[in-house]
Amino acid sequence: MYPFWSLPRVTRRAGKVWHRNLVVFFRTWKVNFFPPLIEAFLYLFAIGMGIGSYVKEIDGIPYVNFIAPAILAISVMNSAFFECTYGSYVRMYYQKSFDAMIATPLSIEDVIAGELLWGATRSLLYVIIMLPVFAAFGVISFPLSLLAVPLAFLGGLMFAGIAMCFTAITPSIDTLNYPSFLFITPMALFSGTFFPLTLLPTLLQYIALILPLTHLVAIMRMLTLPDLSGMGVLNLVYIILVTAVFCIVSINLMRRRLIV
């Protein structure tokens, strides 16, 4: 009836769902703004300064500068992914918020699209909070690093879409641990984040090229070093394609799960 790839009819009402989440986020802003700030400091000190004092530099780049964009990219991934897995699942299953929303003119497509947009927005807010810290430590360069903000939204949308697919098929909240540990954690380590991909065995290098985070890290690094290259266009095309596919499929999967 509704194939996974059919284009969902999303209206501007999706913005209402997005707005609802934004209001809740800013109402508890102290809880929400603190973690990214702390995270930025922790990573910079532990890995950047700690490991960095032994590693010194990679390919002529100071180690802290090498990992700074990776930390941004990982934050983009984590904030959108966890928002649209655990966060969305709680709202869907425990709070029954989606049921309440679709009793209004909002459709399920609007609701899920709103959740995806919100996941992406959360990534964007995370990066906005982290950028000044990195700037203060002088590990990223401006003005190109400012493009990390729109990139965070696009990357966030990609991971929100992937996350929502898991949420749509997970039998319970516990089984959401699988994608978190088997997909997100390895990706955070092996996507050219803390060491260059070229150190990996050839086969693993190819596998890493499939991973979405690899491409986000690559573009992010081009912006913060800065070190622009034509490869960036390919990375961007990859991200846009994956984003489109997963966002569309996730809405259709959710429709299948919730509209019976």
Written as six digits, the tokens of 137 are: 């430590």
Task: Describe the crossing of helices 14-27 and 29-43 by its angle, rounded to 10 degrees.
Answer: 80
Helix, strand, coil share of the chain (percent; to 5) = 80, 0, 20
Q: Which helix (H) or strand (E) holds 202?
A: helix 202-210
Task: Describe the crossing of helices 108-136 and 148-169 by its angle, rounded to 10 degrees.
Answer: 140
Binding mask 104-133 for another protein (x = CB under 8 A): xxxx--------------------------
Could you say whether residue 228 binds another protein (CB under 8 A)?
Answer: no
Stretch that binds another protein, among 15-23, 33-41, 228-236, 246-254 (CB under 8 A): 15-23
Contact 147, 223 (CB under 8 A): yes
Nearest CB to another protein, comparing residues 23 and 203: 23
Is residue 250 helix, strand or coil?
helix
Q: Count interface residues toward another protein (CB under 8 A).
A: 22
**Given candidates 101, 112, 158, 220, which one binds another protein under the rule CB under 8 A?**
101
Could you say whether residue 2 binds another protein (CB under 8 A)?
Answer: no
| Cis-peptide into 226, omega within 30 deg | yes
According to DSSP, residue 62 is labeled E
Could you say whether residue 260 binds another protein (CB under 8 A)?
Answer: yes
Could you say whether residue 146 binds another protein (CB under 8 A)?
Answer: no
Stretch that binds another protein, among 22-30, 118-126, 160-168, 217-225 (CB under 8 A): 22-30
Min separation Cβ 87 and another protein, Å: 11
Q: Which helix (H) or strand (E) holds 99?
A: helix 97-102
Note the residue count of the chain.
260
Min separation Cβ 92 and another protein, Å: 11
Is residue 230 helix, strand or coil?
coil
Stretch that binds another protein, among 103-111, 137-145, 213-221, 244-252 (CB under 8 A): 103-111
Interstrand relation of 61-62 and 57-58 (parallel, antiparallel or unpaired): antiparallel
Min separation Cβ 101 and another protein, Å: 6
**Given candidates 97, 170, 191, 214, which one binds another protein under the rule CB under 8 A?**
97
Could you say whether residue 99 binds another protein (CB under 8 A)?
Answer: yes
Nearest CB to another protein, comparing residues 121 and 235: 121
Nearest to 160 by CA among 59, 88, 220, 219: 88
Stretch that binds another protein, among 10-18, 118-126, 209-217, 219-227 (CB under 8 A): 10-18
- The residues of the shown chain that bind another protein, judged by CB under 8 A, are 11, 13, 16, 19-20, 23-24, 27, 95-97, 99-107, 259-260
